[in-house]
Amino acid sequence: MIGAIALLFTCQLLGEIIHRLAGLPLPGSVIGMVLLICWLGLVRKERPTLEAVTGWLTAHLSIMFVPSAVGLIEEGPVLSQYGIGLAVATIISTLLTMVVGALVFRWALRWVKQDDDAGNEETEREGMGA
């Protein structure tokens, strides 16, 4: 359990370091998440403790939004002035994120399927030669 939490924090820390050193326009937490995904893809080993930790975090995700909600309430005058623009920008960015996420998922699915097909062909060739 501690190892899984340490892995998450390490990836986030590395993402923040890369963000600050390279000056990338992506937030450090996003870079850290990409690093975590790359690491998990390279290792290709089941991590039940990591699943347990991330499952718990996801189940309690609503707690993470409380500070944001309080901040929105405090910024009432700003919301009344820019609320419509913020809502439109939020809707457009959400739709764009969903479309890009779906396209990346389709690409990754094809990529994984190609790896599986190549592995199956190699296994079939080995079976014929035996």
**pLDDT tens for each residue of 54-83:** 999 889 888 877 887 787 788 888 888 888
**pLDDT tens for each residue of 80-94:** 888 899 899 999 999
Q: What pTM does this model have?
A: 0.53
CB atoms within 10 A of CB 11: 21
